[in-house]
């Protein structure tokens, strides 16, 4: 009852547990702020948010899944896990009295790169092949983040110093030119 925020670690079977459901209902009845952490690893009970929602009793779904509660995916790869932990810690702290009204906190993890003005020490021209679905859009984001970066979306690499390879489910199947371009 004295908890200021409640963390739900969502995994397959979470909403099938009588004890978990008792905690969920109690938290909602007391209007406690929630932080949701979604297990990503299927071997550890992870599931998609859609699958986890389907396990939740229908009457509870809107209060848990439709209220824009902070949601973090829990990754088990060490570097990503540290980021998941940092995001979770920030969400919990933002619900505490000392940080109410704040929208973010300057939390860092030991060894983490801090966001500053990054740039290239020498000339850099990135080629985003038209045969690589999604590469042009990512290149535009990079240009916005890295002042001085030049991007080419020409048919050939030309004088580019780097090739941007954007990998997704369509890579190498939507345009066979990409495989040849990568080989070069």
- Tokens, residue 22: 């008792």
pLDDT for 114: 63
pLDDT for 50: 94
The tens-digit pLDDT sequence of the chain (184 residues) is: 778 899 999 999 999 999 999 999 999 999 999 999 999 899 999 999 999 999 999 999 999 999 999 999 998 888 788 889 999 999 999 988 889 889 989 888 776 666 666 667 788 899 999 999 889 999 988 888 887 888 998 888 889 999 999 988 777 777 888 888 888 7
Distance between CA 155 and CA 70 in Å, rounded? 42
Torsion of CA 108, 111, 115, 121, to 10 degrees: 170
pLDDT for 77: 84
61 and 32 Cβ atoms separated by less than 8 Å: no
pLDDT for 108: 82
Which residues on adjacent β-strands are paired with residue 71?
36
pTM over the 0.85 mark: no
- Tokens, residue 158: 């030309």
């Amino acid at each position: 009852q004295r908890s200021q925020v409640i963390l739900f670690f969502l995994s397959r079977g979470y909403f099938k547990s009588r004890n978990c459901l008792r905690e969920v209902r109690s938290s909602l009845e007391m209007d406690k702020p929630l932080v949701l952490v979604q297990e990503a690893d299927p071997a550890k009970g992870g599931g998609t948010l859609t699958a986890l929602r389907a396990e939740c009793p229908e009457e509870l779904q809107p209060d848990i899944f439709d209220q824009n509660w902070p949601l973090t995916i829990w990754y088990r790869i060490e570097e990503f896990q540290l980021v998941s932990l940092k995001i979770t810690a920030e969400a919990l702290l933002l619900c505490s009295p000392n940080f109410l009204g704040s929208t973010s906190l300057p939390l860092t993890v030991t060894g983490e790169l801090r966001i500053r003005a990054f740039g290239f020490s020498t000339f850099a021209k990135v080629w985003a092949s038209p045969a690589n679905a999604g590469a042009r859009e990512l290149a535009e984001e990079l240009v916005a983040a890295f002042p001085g970066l030049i991007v080419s979306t020409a048919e050939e690499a030309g004088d580019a110093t780097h090739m941007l390879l954007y990998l997704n489910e369509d890579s190498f199947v939507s345009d066979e030119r990409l495989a040849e371009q990568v080989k070069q």
